[in-house]
């Protein structure tokens, strides 16, 4: 049986997010996030290696036609992202995977990613629904804003414009060490690129770039 620690972390993250949202609402602010609002699903979403593996295992369990549909979208999305990230040496490192703190995406590429065109997540439906909701990564679970939803739009997005309550920031700070505990020192990277690599890894364990706890087991 495969040990999948990330699977056990998600319910804990969801409770922490729920409590933080309740506190924000109790303080009189209104959280803008709602079902069907998909602006943030067009932004650059970074996920951990264990989260990527979790999505890859979930994909492996989907009916073949749906799985093939998702995989085609993941390849398209990853190819598109790689082409953009390969603009500089530093971004090439990012495209390969985030292996250390040096491998940060450059500001120019970051801006290009946000402003060039809309890039829907491969798991986003045309109705604006996450089709991989149960395995969506922690970045998606903890993206909570009180600013108008349009400010999360790819066309106008600038993280300086977001209004993220202090309580939400604190909640994220509390979740970060939990993610590190599960993820070890393996890196984070672009959602489609990471899931593409994770799919290759579970199909052929010799391609496993890391052997985090969440991927171990028999
Ligand atoms: S995984 Fe789901 S919630 Fe996260 S960006 Fe993709 S569609 Fe949106």
Indicate whether 67 belongs to any domain: yes
Ligand 1 atom, smallest distance to 124 CA: 7
Question: Which mutation among 17, 41, 56 tests ligand 1's pocket best, with the greatest number of atoms within 8 A of CB?
Answer: 41
Identify which of 22, 24, 14 has the alpha carbon closest to the alpha carbon of residue 164. 24
User: Long-range CB contacts (< 8 A, 24+ apart) of 196-202?
Assistant: 196/74, 196/75, 196/78, 197/52, 197/97, 198/49, 198/52, 198/53, 198/55, 198/56, 199/56, 199/59, 199/71, 199/74, 201/53, 201/56, 202/53, 202/56, 202/57, 202/60
Average pLDDT over residues 194-208: 81
In a domain, 216, yes or no: no
pLDDT at 97: 62
- What tens digit of pLDDT does each residue of 81-140 get? 888 887 777 777 777 665 555 567 777 776 666 666 678 899 999 999 999 999 999 999
Total of domains in the chain: 1
Question: How confident is the model at residue 43, as a pLDDT?
Answer: 82
Q: Which residues line ligand 1 (CB under 6 A)?
A: 41, 45, 121, 123-124, 130, 132, 136, 140
- The answer to whether residue 210 scores a pLDDT higher than 70 is no
Q: Is residue 122 part of a domain?
A: yes
Quick check: is 31 in a domain? no
Question: Mutation test of ligand 1: which of 33, 119, 121, 144 has the most ligand atoms closer than 8 Å to its C-beta?
Answer: 121
Cα-based angle 125, 130, 135 (whole degrees, multiple of 5): 140
Residue 100 CA to ligand 1 centre (angstroms):
25
Distance from C-alpha of 20 to C-alpha of 185, rounded to nearest angstrom: 27
pLDDT the model gives residue 11:
95
Q: Hey, how many other C-beta atoms are within 10 angstroms of the C-beta on 61?
A: 8
Tell whether 29 is covered by a domain: no
pLDDT tops 50 at residue 48? yes
Cα 211 to middle of ligand 1, angstroms: 25
Expressed as residue numbers, the domain containing 59 is: 5-21+36-211
How far apart CA 42 and CA 112 sit, in angstroms, is 13
Contact 58, 134 (CB under 8 A): yes
pLDDT band at 150 (very low <50, low <70, confident <90, very high): confident
**Residues 49-66 pLDDT 10s:** 899 999 999 999 999 999
Q: Indicate whether 72 pLDDT > 60.
A: yes
pLDDT tens by residue, 171-198? 999 999 998 888 876 678 889 999 999 9
Asked if residue 151 has pLDDT above 70, the reply is: yes
pLDDT in tens, 1-40: 345 778 889 999 999 999 999 999 999 988 988 888 888 8
Within-domain flag for 91:
yes
pTM equals 0.83
Q: Assess if residue 137 is contained within a domain.
A: yes
The answer to whether residue 161 sits within a structural domain is yes
């Amino acid at each position: 049986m495969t040990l999948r620690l990330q699977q056990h972390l998600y319910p804990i993250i969801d409770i922490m997010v729920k409590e933080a949202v309740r506190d924000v609402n109790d303080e009189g602010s209104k959280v803008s996030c709602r079902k069907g609002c998909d602006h943030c699903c067009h932004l650059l979403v970074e996920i951990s290696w264990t989260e990527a593996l979790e999505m890859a295992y979930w994909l492996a369990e989907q009916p073949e036609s749906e799985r093939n549909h998702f995989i085609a979208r993941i390849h398209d999305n990853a190819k598109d992202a790689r082409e953009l990230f390969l603009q500089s040496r530093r971004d090439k490192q990012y495209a390969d995977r985030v292996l250390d703190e040096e491998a940060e995406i450059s500001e120019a590429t970051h801006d290009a990613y946000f402003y060039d065109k809309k890039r829907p997540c491969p798991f986003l439906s045309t109705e604006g629904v996450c089709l991989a909701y149960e395995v969506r990564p922690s970045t998606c679970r903890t993206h909570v804003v009180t600013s108008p939803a349009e400010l999360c739009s790819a066309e106008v997005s600038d993280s300086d414009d977001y209004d993220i309550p202090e309580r939400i920031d604190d909640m994220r700070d509390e979740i970060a060490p939990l993610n590190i505990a599960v993820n070890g020192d393996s890196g984070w990277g672009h959602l489609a690129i990471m899931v593409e690599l994770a799919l290759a890894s579970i199909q052929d364990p010799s391609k496993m770039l890391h052997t985090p706890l969440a991927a171990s087991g028999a």
